[in-house]
Chains A and B, each alone.
Chain A
């Protein structure tokens, strides 16, 4: 059969078939075909004229928030692009009914919008003449209201129309379209052939696979797989048969089978995915905008980023606005903010530990659903911070079957399992333990360190989630992580010979988080309580000891109500109570911009400071949408039990779509307040009288987002912090006996710059990746009357380019290239011997006035998958710093600061990993 359609686009096109007229097992589609065939047979006209026109249908109301009338309104524009399109006005339409009607009207193409699930809007495009699926899209829009879903539907239809371009151009049917010949006198038998179609490697059940069973030239059965990927052909006579299966996005499969009389054969078929899948597109929504810039990355996108060792959380260090951290240190420096100024959230609650000390995220890859990165101008939902936000959302989508995964690399090994328990409950479990303590002794001779306890970590995750009535959820998360390392210093560092003994750190958290989402009246509520125990201990060679123990109780409740078609309202409570105990022994506390210092320079003090912090917060957001404008006005009010001072923080965001809604312009302005950090308020080095720092964020941006997966975003940003905590006394003056004390709200911070992000993640293109570039400047003024100086992590240029190329379904390679200006350094002009400690104090020059040569690094990665029915094995090799470039990480000095040299970062680090999924 010849059709005016590029063969590459329509792998599923098959010859129209004669279907047993009374086949009840062949599924609705086949049944519909049978009905058509029966009608045609009754008219004794063997030739049926299909028209290349379109039927469009919307499913019966399921749990989805989009109502039918809204969908119809949104479709009006798109129906004009579908030749001869006719909308099926039937209410409570099932997919089978719709297809039957479409066939009856002899409209060849059918587009069906399925609203069965609350969180997915599925669009299927079918060729009814050939009984084939042409395209399918699953639109997702986490957290969206109906307006958001409307936007998503538009995006999806736009992508679909683009993809179907060749088909739509060939709208005129050829006069010699072969007719479907109905053979009414096929012999009936009592044998049957059943199939179950699964995706090779994952075992995912495939619905909609087109399968034909034929004998020679005669097609005896044609049907599509339905629930659980099953399809069945019945009433077959004994004999030899050939079967063929095809499905968009998968390689076709064929086979032969011999049936005896009365025999029922079951044939599981695993279809291999093609390298790219033009029509199987999942459009992940941006959701209703709560921020000017929000970069959302899925686990699948994050996992393969070269240079991250496959760690999804670590990948955030490659995003625009994030400065390169020194060496392997797990710091996130966002738009010139100190790492402690940014929020690191897991499921809406702050965590003090987002990374293990070896750089891996504390949340195991498979438990991550999404990672959101908001560099500034974040929503009123977040507070007590004026940096950026990194939020990890753990998995919440229910699956039909259990999945298990075992993974190991040179750093750690992990196990993961997820699956349903009954119809409403879902469980996720994971555990990971590092291997490093076992690997390091093998290379101990080449390391300069003597590990008393080699680095080790573990993390675990347990989540239970239940679907409740009204589209609500009930569940609980229990997770935690621990890091421990201890090593002996054989040779004290040159800058401080007094440092001897062990260096050890211990960090850990354990949290339990029950949650519920439900609807009461017109309000949709989300409520969650987080109870967290966290501890941080550092012991630096007997000269510095610090233990921070927090028992953190938090509660977040958010209620959303739609006030009108164009306006909705969010009200929220964000309550935090922390019981802390800080104890240790130190001579000073490190301060941004301070010198390297000597632990022995001043007298050590022993301290033990327990206390309680109570910080209630409340917020409200009103979203208004009118035409091409969308605005969000938020207000957050925080207070502190220390003095019950109130800190109102208004935040405003507006977005205007251009006529082509793939383009938009955005503007954000907001106020942000942040309490002083615990170590800044606790005696003997802190000042209990410190109050909150206040910041203003402003951002102007614009973007182009192609629903298919290509996007460009750019923004100009600025930030100003007043009342920043700093030393009220200059370092120069403080070198006497009093040490570095006298903290006060005396500093100022400012930062500004521009960011660009180009992303490619189209499913029909073998290349995916992004290019992120930031040019910025971050400055500080330590106290009134002083000049502005550069922030110690200021990096003028940061460029990251990531690309992955899929050579085949099984094999892909990728690279990550990073270029960044080096962190500024304060030159040392000489030194001063301090007789009390016997050490040399550097005489600093202009603060951060020198910058070493820039950093660049190339990481490469190769992935190979072994796909087998029901399981797959993924092997990867990740080479960090593949060229083994000697990058400068800082400047080292000899003991009296008369000589200096660059210290270099790590050479090539290979990481090999294996992941088995079954």
Chain B
């Protein structure tokens, strides 16, 4: 967990100069990728960015508040279906925006009903949402429209890449700004002790519903653009429950406490998946499972926790050496 002190001066301090510079260089490298990268690289990075978006937007709500949501697949799927329905009539950016808006409204409604539930009940209900929407769509397609599945207008890989990069940058900005604001402090206090937070004047229901809905926007938008990579979708493809579990796993893998934990987790996790899948197609799931078990058992704070521990050890070592010198 972070122990930062909320203070205006920290915004301009040197502590943020180096990470800020690194972020800028990374963003420039990402923005120019289609110029020097191969088509395969563009597709690979697109997939990684998709996972990062799902994971970071999941952690944006569930990280500080402690409410474990299993709804990502529902929002992602609604995004996919928005493209399936509107893709032929509206321009791409409008479709993505419409998906964000639809998931935002859906999440507001779901939040109103479910956010009074706590712990495991909330997790189960949000997962139920995935199944419910999938079954409703199946019913609709089988009984009313009498079709099964839909074809999707294809978009070229570079366009998909730039849209997803845009969503990613917007998400990072939103997450960063909210986490540093008084709204972020309120979210954290809800995760620490909701009753106390309410007694300090925090409208806990409002904070929870709004942050839940904001996180859904990005999942929906990601679904809408990723849908254009698949030629054909049906409810089983669109509402794959794996998209609910993977963000949780990736966030834990990276470490939920820090801002960059989920980003790191999703990036490495997604790359690892690709690597294992191409290099060891038969042992991929097995290897993947072993890595996960090891991480959960030995790295309770994820990769970020490991990095912090190593850094602390190095600092201590340095101090000891310095004191030995004198």
Asked whether A and B interact, the reply is no
Residues of A within 8 A of B (CB): none
Residues of B within 8 A of A (CB): none
